């Protein structure tokens, strides 16, 4: 197992602040090999098929690797909520 991916069909108020539509995690020994970027790229069309036209994505302010993954997949920075950065990413 390399990691996990979760696509949330709907956002609750807490997920709007920290969590978003898509969550991913890669095991430490498999990081920095492009797996998270590929996982998110594969998840965005699935989110689109669920009716999500823009996916909300979040990451920790200090997680520069996740920031790069999101931005590589078209994520546009929205704002910060607490210690989380929030992005909108197109699903098409």
Nearest to 11 by CA among 23, 3, 1, 2: 23
Arithmetic mean of pLDDT, 42-58: 97
Predicted pLDDT at 33? 97
Q: Residues 31, 65: contact at Cβ < 8 Å?
A: yes
Return all residues near 74 (Cβ < 8 A) that are at least 6 apart. Answer: 44, 89, 90
Task: Give the per-residue pLDDT at 29.
Answer: 97
pTM: 0.94
Report how far residue 33's alpha carbon sits from residue 47's, in angstroms, rounded to the nearest whole number: 24
Q: Please, what are the domains in the chain?
A: 3-90 (3.40.630.30)
Helix (H) or strand (E) holding 57: strand 54-60
Instruction: State the pLDDT at residue 8.
Output: 97
pLDDT, position 40: 98
| Residue of 56, 74, 76 whose CA lies nearest to 11 | 56
């Amino acid at each position: 197992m390399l990691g996990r991916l979760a696509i949330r069909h709907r956002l609750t108020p807490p997920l709007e602040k920290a969590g978003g539509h898509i969550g991913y995690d890669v095991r430490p020994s498999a990081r920095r090999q492009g797996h998270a970027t590929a996982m998110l790229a594969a998840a965005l069309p699935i989110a689109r098929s669920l009716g999500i036209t823009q996916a909300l994505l979040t990451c920790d302010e200090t997680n520069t690797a996740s920031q790069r993954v999101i931005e590589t997949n078209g994520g546009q920075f929205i704002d910060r909520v607490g210690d989380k950065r929030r992005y909108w990413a197109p699903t098409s």
